Amino acid sequence: MSTNLQITNINTWGFDFSSPLTISGPCSAESEKQVVETAMALSKPGIDILRAGIWKPRTRPNAFEGVGSKGLKWLQTAKKLTGIPVAVEVANENHVKECLQNNIDFIWIGARTTVNPFAVQEIAEALRGTDIPVFVKNPINPDLELWIGALERLNQVGITKLVAIHRGFSTYEYSEFRNKPNWDIPLELKRTFPKLSIICDPSHICGNRKSIQSISQKAMDLAFDGLMIESHIDPTKALSDSQQQLTPSSLEKLLSNLIYRKTSTDNPELNSQLERLRKVIDSIDADILDNLSERMKIVNEIAHHKKLNNITILQQERWNQIINNALDIGSSKNLSDDSILGLFKIIHRESIRLQNEVMNSNEKELEELLSIKVK
Ligand code: PEP
Ligand code: MN
């Protein structure tokens, strides 16, 4: 389904944002002291937006579920003392109303809310007629359409100050990440809506402190527009997400260690060199597509034989053999197992689709095709 989003560029919102945009602050507001001290300490690295969760969506009940509305006043105090504008997560109509009444500058929709179109619609209705900027986290499941749907629901009530936050996706199987990044999803969002800013939340992707630096660097290298990183004046005592929060001084180190690369260059020599190399890539890509098309012609022929001889589309042993073969060749050519597996799954899916088309096509047509081949 094609769509277009009306986006007001982040640099015209009337704030003095740096590039990349940096958002930091505690997972949860816990006390006025904690919020104010964290905010004051964050003045040093010079962040753009102070974040804090007031109402916390927790996986299990009876965990700390946030301090509620009284925390909004603490954020106002922190803002008054530091001049840093503030952002809060909302999950329903009441949260929105309270944020609007308490001069919260930005709101964000959490991953557990983006996943629910009813909740997003309720939030959108509560926002109708306002122009508060809204940051939309990806849904917990890797579903780009759902993410786009949430942005559209907000856009339809007139919210154009929109930013997407990539915080990774939940998986059942073991992963080194708390939430797997699946970078192709935010990149596809960016490709679909080039004007939409997308920032990365490495804290919720990593779930630990040690990988936040490398994930932040990766986001910068993939030309993300900013970072949202959780920080706490004393992370070990945090009431939520204590494993992943940084101290303000570690955040400062992290930001100063990041290498900010440009998305393009005006060096003519380098540009012509890149252009030459890109032409080679274009021609290799054309060869890959030629080869793929040749492969699919053979698949088509095989499908006809299978159909006439009543053989299933899938022969498990053959599929295993294809994969193992590809992995062997791939590893000798320095291609990662993950990429080879991903690539061959896509090729195989297309082969199955084609074979299915052939095997369910009209019998007569099939025989005609085969007899032409025999001639
Ligand atoms: C958060 O940012 O504190 C939060 C709850 O994140 P997410 O919605 O990404 O889980
Ligand atoms: Mn958190």
Q: What is the token pair recorded at 196? A: 């939409």
Q: What is the SS3 assignment for 193? A: coil
Q: What is the SS3 assignment for 244? A: coil
Q: What is the SS3 assignment for 326? A: helix
The span from the CA of 114 to the CA of 134, in Å, is: 12
Q: Tell which atom from ligand 1 comes closest to the C-alpha of 113.
A: 8
Amino acid at 244: Q
Q: Ligand 2 centre and the CA of 156: distance in Å?
A: 29
Cβ 228 under 6 angstroms from ligand 1 = no
> Which of 302, 347, 304, 305 is CA-nearest to residue 322?
347
Cβ 66 under 6 angstroms from ligand 1 = no
Cβ 167 under 6 angstroms from ligand 1 = yes
**Cβ atoms of 228 and 251 closer than 8 Å:** no
**Cβ atoms of 169 and 142 closer than 8 Å:** yes
Q: What is the SS3 assignment for 252? A: helix
**Cβ atoms of 82 and 44 closer than 8 Å:** no
pTM of the model: 0.88
Rounded (5°) CA angle 331-335-338: 95
At residue 367, the pLDDT reads: 66
Q: Please tell me the total number of residues recorded for the chain in this structure.
A: 375
Q: Ligand 2 centre and the CA of 307: distance in Å?
A: 54
Q: What is the mean pLDDT of each run of 10 residues along the chain (375 residues)?
A: 87 94 98 98 95 92 93 98 98 98 98 98 98 97 98 98 98 94 97 97 98 98 97 96 97 96 92 97 98 96 93 90 96 94 95 91 67 60
The span from the CA of 142 to the CA of 86, in Å, is: 28
Q: What does CATH list as the number for 10-257?
A: 3.20.20.70
- Number of the ligand closest to the Cα of 201: 1
State which H helix or E strand residue 321 sits in: helix 316-332
At residue 348, the pLDDT reads: 94
At residue 39, the pLDDT reads: 98
Helix 248-257 vs helix 32-42: angle between axes, to the nearest 10 degrees? 30
Cβ 91 under 6 angstroms from ligand 1 = no
Cβ 139 under 6 angstroms from ligand 1 = no
**Cβ atoms of 164 and 138 closer than 8 Å:** yes
**Cβ atoms of 355 and 306 closer than 8 Å:** yes
Quick check: do 10-257 and 268-370 share a fold?
Answer: no
First-to-final CA distance of the chain: 45
The span from the CA of 323 to the CA of 57, in Å, is: 42
Select the CATH number that applies to the domain covering 268-370 from these four: 1.20.59.10, 2.30.40.10, 3.40.50.2020, 3.40.1050.10.
1.20.59.10
**CA distances (Å), origin 171, targets 179, 198, 199, 368, 371:** 7, 22, 21, 48, 49
Per-domain residue ranges for the chain? 10-257, 268-370
Rounded (5°) CA angle 211-214-217: 145
**Cβ atoms of 137 and 162 closer than 8 Å:** no
**CA distances (Å), origin 106, targets 51, 88, 89, 132, 214:** 9, 7, 9, 6, 27
Q: Of the residues 112, 146, 169, 178, which should be mutated to test ligand 1's pocket, given the most ligand atoms within 8 Å of the CB?
A: 112
Q: What is the token pair recorded at 1? A: 């389904």
**Cβ atoms of 314 and 356 closer than 8 Å:** no
What residue owns the CA closest to ligand 1's atom 4? 110
At residue 366, the pLDDT reads: 60
The span from the CA of 62 to the CA of 45, in Å, is: 35
